[in-house]
Structure 1
Amino acid sequence: MQTIEIFAWLLPVAAIVAIVAMSIRVLLEYERGVVFTLGRLQAVKGPGLILVIPVVQRMVRVDLRTRVLDVPPQDVISRDNVSVRVNAVVYYRVLDPERAIIQVEAFDQATSQLAQTTLRSVVGQHELDQMLAERDRLNADVQRILDEQTDAWGIKVSNVELKHIDLDEKMVRAIARQAEAERLRRAKIIDAEGELQAAEKLVQAGDIMARNPQSMQLRYLGTLSNIAGEKSSTIVFPLPVDMLNLLRPKE
């Protein structure tokens, strides 16, 4: 009888200890628990030690740290009808655990799907040159649209970064030819500008020499000095025009 009485006394105690053990939850500093009582929202609790009554209550654990979402490559047709594959990475975090659980089912999957559709929509509104040259602008546009739409879910999208913009081989070769043609065009323009500046300087020098005959003589002497410094077997001496005038017969 005593053994039966002992078991009868220990059984309720063990049941109570088991219920208490099952009720204990420990939430870390970056975690919150959304507690439902008989299906109704009771409160958002944590961090620390909380009690959840089994069967009667249920707790959904929510991580408040920044999450990294890798958006898979998306096939996009740009505004100038170029087919590209674009992928990105999205950084977001839960600001309101209550809305993140109640307002949307599986907020992480919902954010991923929304990021994919938004990426295709934004990138498709730009031409290929804008995608390659204005990546920061595209990042800001995608981040702003995502943040506006996920605000109702209690989620904050802090940053979006486009990782790769992949083109097919034909388009890569076409862009390379275009870049080479642009470099040749700039080189020709620079050469033409140099020739123009040299011609202008020569005209100015000619005008100065025409007004000052002595400068022409100095030019002759400089030319002779240059010729003498070279290893040449033939030297041509320029004859001043004034001497030719002296040799002409007088009328």
Structure 2
Amino acid sequence: MFKKVTIQNDERGLLFRKGSYYKSLQPGTYRLSPFSDDHVEILNVMHRFHVEGKDLPLFIHDDILIQELDIIQVQDHEYVLHYEDGKLVELLTTGSYAFWNVLKKHTYLRVDIRQPELPNEIDLAILPKISSYYQTFDVANHECGVLFYNHVMQKELAPGRYYFWRGPIGVSVKTIDLRQQQMDMTGQEMMTEDKVTLRLNFVCQYRIMNPLRALEIKSFEDQMYIGLQLVLREYVGTLKLDDLLKMKQEISSYVLTRLNEKSVDYGVQFLSAGVKDIILPGDIKDILNTVLLAEKKAQANLITRREETASTRSLLNTAKLMDENQTLFRLKELEFLEKICEKIGTISFNGGGNLLEQLNSFVGERNMSKN
């Protein structure tokens, strides 16, 4: 009795005779002799062409079969994106693949991963399906990126997101912050011309203008810090302490000018600089405080002497006016009498004479009695 084999429209048969592939079979019904060792392997054309235990080269001599297959060879330096009816199905790595082309339309996008950047024709919408095969780098809006292949610089990158294949080329992106930045020097010990050791807090603002130049400098920020330190030491060492305390603004202008002389070397623009604090040793502080106190006392004494001189001059002028004007003299008598009456209840005068003279005599007698 014959062995009956039925192949559906979405299937193809592979006839093996004595264990070796013989030919392909189209949809239909086939009867095989029970006395033969023929065997039919039925494959669904909706799936990839694959026969367990058999390599693809065993079938490529069949011209009829090959017409219904897409044979894809993927080299070591390639990825192939496989689409069915316009939709991504899979990413193919190194190897040989065959797909039935009878019921679905298969298309393929071949990419050379020796060129790591993903080509523009790849739709970003498919990337989540192949996430293990690429890597991303982000350059923020305030940054500039620099692209390296195997540690060799390639180009600058504008702000955005970039996609690169994971492959034989090592990809890295270094980002440079283009915003205004600040460099702080705190507690830096320096010596003035008169051998006073002090600590200086200094601040400097800058912006990177040439990212490539900045990347060429090893320990970029450390070298700028040392440059600032040397400029400050050079300038502070030429000033005495008193001059230094008076010339804080001049120090800032000098340092900013000197730093901008080297701005091209660093690839930056120095925007501003300034002294935040000058911290003196304790004994120097005590000396300055003593000097300051003495200066203030001297100023107070000078003001007191000026006031006394002005008061004496005023009295002299008043005396001259009273001597020349009897009415003014009488008014002064009354003013004098009013002041005395504020402190004494009753006053009696005997005899004649000048009222002012009697009042003066009275005040003189009271003062003597107190003594």
Partner of 1:117: 230
With normalisation by structure 2, the TM-score equals 0.55
Q: Which is higher, the Rg of structure 1 or of structure 2?
A: 2
Does the aligned pair in 2 maintain the 1:73–1:86 contact within 8 Å? yes
2:348 & 2:247 partners in 1: Cα distance? 63
Runs of 4+ in 1 over 4 A off after TM superposition: 1-12, 15-24, 36-42, 50-54, 56-59, 232-238
Is 105-114 or 50-59 further displaced after alignment? Answer: 50-59
Partner of 1:213: 326
Q: Please state whether the residue corresponding to 2:344 is helix, strand or coil.
A: coil
Measured against aligned partners, the alpha-carbon deviations of 1:71-98 in whole angstroms (never above 9, x if no partner) come to 2422211233321011223222211112
The percentage of counterpart residues that share the same residue type is 22
Q: State the AA in 1 paired with 2:143.
A: E
Partner of 1:164: 277
Partner of 1:142: 255
Does the aligned pair in 1 maintain the 2:137–2:173 contact within 8 Å? no
**Counterpart check, 1:99 vs 2:213:** yes
Residue 78 of structure 1, aligned match among 185, 192, 213: 192
With normalisation by structure 1, the TM-score equals 0.78
Q: State the AA in 1 paired with 2:249.
A: D
Q: State the AA in 2 paired with 1:219.
A: K
Map 1:13-52; keep pairs closer than 5 Å.
13=79, 14=93, 20=118, 24-35=136-147, 42-50=154-162
Partner of 2:62: none
Does the aligned pair in 2 maintain the 1:77–1:84 contact within 8 Å? yes
Q: State the AA in 2 paired with 1:184.
A: K
2:151 & 2:73 partners in 1: Cα distance? 34
Q: Which is bigger in relative contact order (C-alpha 8 A, separation at least 6)?
A: 1
- In the TM superposition, residue 127 of structure 1 has moved relative to its aligned partner by 3.1
- In the TM superposition, residue 8 of structure 1 has moved relative to its aligned partner by 7.0
For structure 2, which runs of at least 5 residues remain unmatched after alignment? 1-49, 57-70, 80-92, 95-110, 119-132, 358-371
Q: Please state whether the residue corresponding to 1:79 is helix, strand or coil.
A: coil
2:281 & 2:332 partners in 1: Cα distance? 62
1:223 & 1:164 partners in 2: Cα distance? 59
The structure richer in helix per residue is 1
- In the TM superposition, residue 185 of structure 1 has moved relative to its aligned partner by 0.7
- In the TM superposition, residue 190 of structure 1 has moved relative to its aligned partner by 0.6
Measured against aligned partners, the alpha-carbon deviations of 1:119-149 in whole angstroms (never above 9, x if no partner) come to 2223333333344344333223222222221
The structure richer in strand per residue is 2
For structure 1, which runs of at least 5 residues remain unmatched after alignment? 244-251
Q: Please state whether the residue corresponding to 1:239 is helix, strand or coil.
A: coil
- In the TM superposition, residue 191 of structure 1 has moved relative to its aligned partner by 0.3
Measured against aligned partners, the alpha-carbon deviations of 1:213-243 in whole angstroms (never above 9, x if no partner) come to 33222222221222122126766789339x9
